[in-house]
Structure 1
């Protein structure tokens, strides 16, 4: 049996791989179920009901305004007169102020809502990739399996590279399969509980590219988990770095930057770079640059993080971590 086939079989047979993947799929299923049950198809009955609610709210507002006017008239010459406008001038509400759309039930618009669902899928699968990738190589180091494997195939870089390749190919297959099912599920939800209008060829192309970026994010997360665990020769190394970055660095740095009123603190926080990668851009705004005393308006300074910038940052981090893992694999003592 070839080394690649052996590593693929080892990955797929691991109980942790199966259980963690099933758990992630259950989370995605819960998200889909939540969207299904909280959205409704809008038809003529729902529109008529919404118009009725808007008209009823308008009548209640008119009655309330009239009651306030009567109270105002009754309060003339009393100590309560100051509680009402001069001459009891109250603007009567117009029926056009009550938009029937406000009273429609939530409905899932595939074109507008599915990009957020792609981001959700990418986040869940990226977590799966990071943890399974770290466990896949970390368990080998911790159990001594890596040393035994190198006795059979004493080519360090080939062994580690093949293990990483087998993992990334498996994650690619999983992500592509889940993305296809995810798209079909939400298209079905939109057909039953929402709308599917406006889906041009350009829209499908944009969604396809977004799912491609989701795939890249999953693979990068998986490779980072793999590389960190290989560097520390333990799964806990990768998980510890992840917890440190998220809890200590991100929250700590975010708090310090907010206190220091640093301009565009998003530049130093990883989630906004991930958002920029998935949504193609993220516009950071600095409201500290506004002067609300002049003109009464605010045009804050802005800085746009593009998907190209975010992709470059991901690539640099990936090369550093995986490159360091390969270098230590070649230089460090295996025992």
Structure 2
């Protein structure tokens, strides 16, 4: 505990860490400014404009609707005869326009808060990674690690406290930042009368989501701090992160079955308590062509939690081994 208190003081003495923590609280405020424009009920002027456009489109439909459906069915049949395949152009979906099509979508609090916590969690993950990396990598850049080991030669204890300090701070900052956004989001939607239907189940789900974001920040800081010990340069850690993002983008595009094993998918599964991805499967159709189908595939929270915990444990373990055996200058 004594070593941990020292590391916490050293962490808060770094200006870049304070700036990153400040960013973790400023960004939710900026997001709430954008939400304020969304959390507004439809005004009388917007309703009148939508009704005018709706009346015009309805008149067109009444005049040409049957002709549009007939033309679609004829083209569909012609394509079916030309290709010999079962073609479905969704002609039954051609229906009369509805007023809701021309109105600005107004989400509820439950819909908006979960959608907005996704990008916020990604930002907090990045902040946690950088806080952990810059805290430990800077120790090697300044040579303070070698000096610190003259006071506390037990390297595993030093390593553990240098990882634990940023992890605890980032976990608290991430959870508070997410909770602050939730409180502001609810205030804006409640003021607009769009939060009245919020249920206990919704609040429970949002509360757990906030806690999981805090846990995500903890894992990110642990991983970043361990990588700082391995690479010994903050820029090196950032290079690894950017390089992985590029590789993941390429792999996702080339290997359709890869999403369950990518970090971004499992981060989403952690934050959302499970997620889905699209998987395209293609097979010969028996007529010389290829028939492809796209279906949803689920990634459970258990899978994502195990994946992220295992990944973090491996990085931390490798960092422990490297710090225990490598020379420190």
Q: TM-score, normalised by structure 2?
A: 0.80
Alignment of 1:323 onto 2:326 = no
1:97 alignment partner, SS class: coil
Residues 147-202 of structure 1, C-alpha deviations (whole Å, 9 max, x = no match) = 11111222211122112222122112212221221111100121234611332111
Measure the CA separation in 2 of the matches of 1:2 and 1:100: 66
Aligned residue number for residue 278 of structure 1: 271
8 Å CA contact 1:41, 1:192 repeated in 2: no
Displacement after TM superposition at 1:131 (Å): 0.5
| 2:190 aligned residue | 191
- Using the TM superposition, give the Cα deviation of residue 43 of structure 1 relative to its aligned residue in structure 2, in angstroms: 6.3
Deviations 1:195-224 (A, max 9, x none): 113321111111111222211211111111
Matched, 1:245 2:239: no
**How many angstroms apart in 1 are the aligned matches of 2:293 and 2:221?**
40
Q: 1:178 to 1:285 in 2, by over 3 A?
A: closer
**Secondary structure of the structure 2 residue equivalent to 1:304:** strand
Question: Matched residues in 2 for 1:58 and 1:189: separation?
Answer: 35
Shift of 1:311: 0.8
Partners of 2:147 and 2:192 lie apart in 1 by 55
Structure 2 equivalent of residue 288 of structure 1: 281
Decide whether the 8 Å contact of 2:167 with 2:219 is kept in 1: no
Greater mean alpha carbon deviation, residues 101-110 or residues 224-233: 101-110
Residue 159 of structure 2 corresponds to 160
Counterpart CA distance in 2 for 1:222 and 1:210 is 18
How far residue 302 of structure 1 moved from its aligned partner, in angstroms, is: 5.0
Partner of 1:114: 113
In the alignment, what sits opposite 1:314? 308
Aligned residues: 299
Structure possessing the higher radius of gyration over alpha carbons: 1
- Which of the numbers 246, 253, 256 marks the counterpart of 2:254? 256
- Verify the 8 A CA contact 1:289 1:301 in the aligned structure 2: no
Q: Structure 2 CA distance, aligned partners of 1:241 and 1:42?
A: 46
Counting only pairs closer than 5 Å after superposition, residues 13-32 of structure 1 correspond to structure 2 as 13-32=13-32
Report the secondary structure of 2:31's partner residue: helix
Alignment check: 8 A CA contact 1:47 1:100 kept: no
Structure 1 unaligned spans of 5+: 69-95, 258-262
- Given that residues 175 and 215 in structure 1 are in contact (C-alpha distance below 8 angstroms), is that contact kept between their aligned partners in structure 2? yes
Match of 1:76 in 2: none
Displacement, 1:24? Answer: 4.1
- Is 110-119 or 275-284 further displaced after alignment? 275-284
1:170 aligns to what? 169
Where do residues 72-151 of structure 1 align in structure 2 (5 Å cutoff)?
Answer: 97-151=96-150
* C-alpha deviation, 1:25, in angstroms: 3.4
Is this contact kept in 1: 2:178–2:213, CA < 8 A?
Answer: no
Alignment of 1:55-66 (within 5 A): 55-59=55-59, 61-62=61-62, 65=64
In structure 1, C-alpha distance between the alignment counterparts of 2:121 and 2:324, rounded to whole Å:
33
